[in-house]
Amino acid sequence: VLLWLSKSFLAPQLLLNPITIFCQQNKVAKRKKEPGDNKIKPANKRIKPKVSRVKERVSIDGISKVQSIMIQVLDTGRIRRVPDTIILSAGWGLELRCRGNRIGWSHPHYQEAFEDSRLRISQHDKYSQLILVNTTAADTGNFSCWGLLCDGSECSEDDTKKGSTYIFFTERDELFVPSANYFEVVYLRPDEPGIIPCRASSPLAEVTLHRELPAEKIFVNGTQISYDVKRGFIIHQPSPEDKGVFYCRATLEGVLQSSIKYQLLYVEVPSGPPTTTIMASSTRVQYGDNLHVLCKVLGEPEVQVDFSWLYPGQQDERPIDIQDSWRLINHGIGYTTRLSQSIISVEDFETIDTGNYICTANNLRGATTVAVSVNFS
């Protein structure tokens, strides 16, 4: 029977399509199981991409380190996070808010110097508000805020909660941010960049630097000298050759303007605590003579120095006279220094006046103490 079937029925189909049957057998052939094949996967579960745990912690830490708390309230009532730079036409109002129940603010010193009534800062329950009206090009500058951490009456800045933006208030007739002075002195030092602060009120203005004598336009190559519209011209490695009188020019949409003039003085003395010396009119004094002790500091022209004294007879309230003074010294070779001095004078020298005269000179960068001993001759 099988032989008959193969001849009468199966044989023609095998002859017609022998390979087809073989391929169909391959399609249903079972592959070797791999580890994990028996696990049941949920049909609708989304598979999250694998992320390195280390990288994830870094990104989270980066976000939590500094939290921006500043927003801008627009005229329409909408709010937005402030960008790094905002450009507004002069005359427009400004409203900034910073989240927090205790907030500190910083804004262009022009408004603070004149106790400007156009500026109002108020603290609310959940935010602090800064409002500035009738704006001008002089308001151009950096606006920033920060959270305050307070313990009683003492407060410190919260470094994790800050906000900042630089705002240009553009005026067609004021291409430079106005200055309260007609002439400014800029001190150049060998150990730090010098800045000629001719800031433009519009980031679109083209600004150039010029020397008054000899009259010339200064080549700005971006290496030795560069321009930052938010700071001014930056002299990266000042030298005595950079001294002189300079000014800036700005052009925008056919308008040409010049800035105030800047006197650049080179300072040979590096930044640091005051370099102090002390000298007595005599270290051997006769009874009844007068004594003068001089304490002096040679330093940076704009850095103020404060003096304090310890002297014999101080606890007994011995009458003495102390005179402080300072003056600028032009060395005639391209740099200027400031001579600050304090003189203590003792009349009718007596036994109570013998001993050590101690002078301490203080500036913003530190203090230096010197002493001299005075006795009877």
Q: What domains are defined for the chain?
A: 67-170 (2.60.40.10), 183-266 (2.60.40.10), 276-376 (2.60.40.10)
Task: Encode pLDDT of 334-374 as tens digits.
Answer: 557 789 999 999 999 999 999 999 999 999 889 999 999 99
Residue 16 has pLDDT above 70, yes or no: no
The whole-number pLDDT of residue 230 equals 94
The whole-number pLDDT of residue 26 equals 43
Residue 39 has pLDDT above 60, yes or no: no
3-state secondary structure the chain: CHHHHHHHHHHHHHHHCHHHHHHHHHHCCCCCCCCCCCCCCCCCCCCCCCCCHHHHHHHHHHHHHCEECEEEECCCCCEEECCCEEEEECCCCEEEEEECCCEEEECCHHHHHCCCCCEEEEECCCEEEEEECCCCHHHCEEEEEEEEEEECCEEEEEEEEEEEEEEEEEECCECECCCCCCEEEEEEECCECEEECCCECCCCCEEEEEECCCCEEECCCCCCEEEECCCEEEECCCCHHHCEEEEEEEEECCEEEECCEEEEEECCCCCCCCCEEEEECCCEECCCCCEEEEEEEEECCCCCCEEEEECCCCCCCCCCEEEEEEEEEECCCCEEEEEEEEEEEECCCCHHHCEEEEEEEEECCEEEEEEEEEEEC
- Report percent pLDDT > 70 for the chain: 78
What count of Cα atoms within 13 Å lies in the side-chain half-sphere of residue 48?
A: 3
Task: Encode pLDDT of 130-155 as tens digits.
Answer: 999 999 999 999 999 999 998 888 88
d(CA 142, CA 130): 13
The whole-number pLDDT of residue 62 equals 43
Residue 271 has pLDDT above 90, yes or no: no
The whole-number pLDDT of residue 227 equals 96
Ranking 27-41, 42-56, 63-77, 236-250 by mean pLDDT, the lowest is 42-56
Residue 189 has pLDDT above 60, yes or no: yes
d(CA 19, CA 11): 14
